[in-house]
Structure 1
Amino acid sequence: MKKTMISLVAAGALVLSAAPLQADAVGNGPNYGGNETINTSILHTYSEMASYLQKQEAKQKDMELEVIGQSVKGRDLYLVKYMKNPENPTILFLTQQHGNEQLTTEGALEFIKHLGTGKMKGVTDNVNILIVPMLNPDGAMGDVDFSLDDYVASGDRHLTRYNALGVDLNRDHVTKIQPETQALHNQVMQKYDIDYMIDLHHQGARSERDGELVSGSILYPTTPNVDPDVLEGSKKLGAVVFDAVDSTGWGHLGKYVGGTAETISRNGIAVEYGISTLLFEMRGMSDHEYEPYVLGQKSNGYLIKQTITTLDATVRAIADGSIESKDTSFWDTLAEQRTRQSEEDE
């Protein structure tokens, strides 16, 4: 299939993570800057993603695929489940609340395939895994009721942050008006006993920590209403991710600067359901009207690898219980990222 290039890069990352990487790793990858074609055809379309999930379900005895609702435009919203024992701790991975943030979805799809291999043998005996691989398919397909004429990507398909009605789904976790948000809460958050959630996003391409561009940034719930034990669990989840990614030599994480609003999933879900949550903002977006937010596609492989590394590390840490002993003191010294102001600063 036409996703072979991305699949091979990501899959190779699973077995070659110890090998030396090129200097242009994620944090130093190419900015768009108007000089590069941004080709969204190399990303899974919604229908290709659906077909991929159905094929994986047919191959994997432990995987179950569930439709949890429909988008504004009537596209089925999928939940991937690995649930051998309801008593096991459960983690939810959520991707593409924002339709133009797709490389986390690409990584999640590779991770789903990874779960069906011998590399993960025995891991799912001790942890339940839920994955919503594309909460905003209408935005991901550019099938929206507003103009995308100013967006950067070439070709017929644009990807946008908002759902078909121009609503930011990650600001709808209190009123829950949009069908996509309702499906997530009614058919996932309220239905399953979830202990941890990682909400995977993308941010702009010019954030830095300690003078170096970041490959991503992380943050725990920052609402004052979060339970202290839930907050501590969130910080431990962040410690697992930071240790797995920042130590690689190609990953470089900062602390995200985020607000306290409970309309945001990171905050609202932690308070409403008592779930330890972590926001992970990967570097760069697949499409946008604001050029500095878009990252050159030569960095796709590294960003997909970063997603896979994150999912793999957290699943293993929860399965073997090592997450409980993680040291969260690194949060006290992790620098907040800042925006690099000009190309001359690089």
Structure 2
Amino acid sequence: MELEVIGQSVKGRDIHLVKYISDPDNPTILYLTQQHGNEQLTTEGALAFIKSLGTGKMKGVLDGVNILVLPMANPDGAMGDVDFSLEDYIASGDRNLTRYNANEVDLNRDHVAKTQPETQALHYNVLKEYSIDYMIDLHHQGTRSAVDGQLVSGSFLYPTSPNVDADVLEGSKRLGSIVYNAIQPTGWGHLGKYVGGTAETIGRNGIAVEYDISTLLFEMRGMSDHEGEWAVLGQKSNGYLIKQTVVTLEATARAIADGSVETADTTFWDTLPEQYNLPR
């Protein structure tokens, strides 16, 4: 493992990239978390995944795939846009996480203009520096999303910009197939199709178009902090959602390493129901 600082946030916090590059000729996947500072469990899942890469259950995987993990793209939002140190923040016990960065910009709508230092660090020091084949952008959504009356543990979607190359789109759908078949049979995970826009300012769309990277958005259930109580996650759900993140990352890394992602069946997308929001 190598750890690289790829830039700083608006308020000068380091932005880290975790790298496992065994062979430059191997396919490479980027896992991106916490563009929105109040969506933290995927970061905790990404850190648990990093730990798992040093265990026997992931033995041999790194021989066939290069893995990049950007575990906190918006550190100022993750710290609640505060001015004191991380240590003081933890000691205070306060929770005031923000979706936006310190300039009150939604980083996941900045992938065309690239006005913010966090977005610039991702694009100029990761996406342009490494030959990346796949990316999963991990987020959170509200707690009232459902399919067929049943609450979902998450939802996902491939890039929907009309400008995405057909092969890139197909790779995104195959990546989604790996996630679906890893999560849906577990019993504690229930997935729906995310209803998302086509704008290329959005990460999964803009990055797929600009770099020909097969991208997948994965929205986990609930948030750590939100102005609406309907969106805030209870502590009881934390464990399985972190586990859901780890399973997602492990399954996709394995599938890319052994090549099974290349033959993944994408027909499930044709019948996967779109999620909707239940009354609050």
What TM-score comes out, normalization by structure 2 length?
0.96
Aligned to 1:105: 43
Give the secondary structure class of the aligned counterpart of 1:247: helix
**Residue 94 (structure 1) aligns with:** 32
Letter in 2 for 1:71: S
Task: Please list, as runs of the form range in 1=range in 2, the aligned pairs for 1:297-316 lying within 5 A after superposition.
Answer: 297-316=235-254
SS of the residue corresponding to residue 94 of structure 1 reads strand
C-alpha distance in 2 between matches for 1:204 and 1:122:
37
Aligned position for 1:254: 192
2:170 pairs with 1:229:
no
Query: 1:204 is matched with which residue?
Result: 142
Aligned to 1:143: 81
The corresponding residue for 1:120 is 58
8 Å Cα contact 1:144/1:163 also seen in 2: no
SS of the counterpart of 2:189? coil
Say yes or no: does 1:240 pair with 2:178: yes
Which of 108, 115, 126 does residue 188 from structure 1 map onto? 126
Aligned-residue identity in percent: 78
Q: State how far apart, in whole Å, the 1-side matches of 2:153 and 2:94 are.
A: 29
SS of equivalent residue, structure 2 residue 19 = strand
Query: Which among 88, 99, 104 is matched to residue 161 of structure 1?
Result: 99
Q: Which amino acid aligns with 1:338?
A: Y
2-side partners of 1:188 and 1:285: how far apart? 27
CA RMSD of aligned residues (A): 1.1
Q: Describe the SS at the equivalent of 2:43.
A: helix
Q: Which moves more between the two structures, 289-298 or 257-266?
A: 289-298
Please say if 1:65 is aligned against 2:3. Answer: yes
How far apart, in 2, do the equivalents of 1:304 and 1:103 lie? Answer: 6
Structure-1 separation of matches of 2:146 and 2:57: 34
CA–CA separation in structure 1 for the residues paired with 2:138 and 2:199? 18
Say which SS state the counterpart of residue 85 (structure 1) adopts.
coil
The structure having more radius of gyration, on CA atoms, is 1
Q: Which amino acid aligns with 1:328?
A: T
Give the distance between the partners of 2:95 and 2:276, measured in 1 at CA.
Answer: 31
Shift of 1:119: 1.7
Could you tell me whether the CA contact under 8 Å between 2:81 and 2:98 is conserved in 1? no
Alignment-mate amino acid for residue 130 of structure 1: L
Q: Does 1:283 align with 2:221?
A: yes
- CA drift of 1:155 comes to 4.1
Q: Distance in 1 between matches of 2:182 and 2:57?
A: 17
Deviation readout 1:82-105 (Å, 9 max, x if unpaired): 001000000000000000000000
Aligned length: 272
Cα deviations across residues 31-79 of structure 1 (Å, max 9, x unaligned)?
A: xxxxxxxxxxxxxxxxxxxxxxxxxxxxxxxx00000000000000000
CA drift at 1:157: 2.9
Q: Provide runs of 4+ in structure 1 moved above 4 Å.
A: none
Residue 272 of structure 2 is matched in structure 1 by 334
**Aligned match of 2:88:** none
In the TM superposition, what is the alpha-carbon distance from 1:313 to its structure 2 partner? 0.2
State the partner residue of 1:274: 212
Q: Which residue of 2 aligns with 1:75?
A: 13
Quick check: 1:129 aligned with 2:106?
no
CA contact (8 A) 1:144 1:165 kept: no
Counterparts of 1:307 and 1:216, CA distance in 2 = 10
The answer as to whether partners of 2:95 and 2:225 remain within 8 angstroms in 1 is: no
Is the Cα–Cα contact under 8 Å of residues 35 and 74 in structure 2 kept in the other structure? Answer: yes
CA distance in 2: counterparts of 1:300 and 1:329, whole angstroms: 31
TM-score of the two chains, using structure 1 as the length reference: 0.77
Rounded Cα–Cα distance in structure 1 between residues aligned with 2:82 and 2:118: 14
SS in 2 for 1:307: helix
Give the distance between the partners of 1:209 and 1:155, measured in 2 at CA: 36
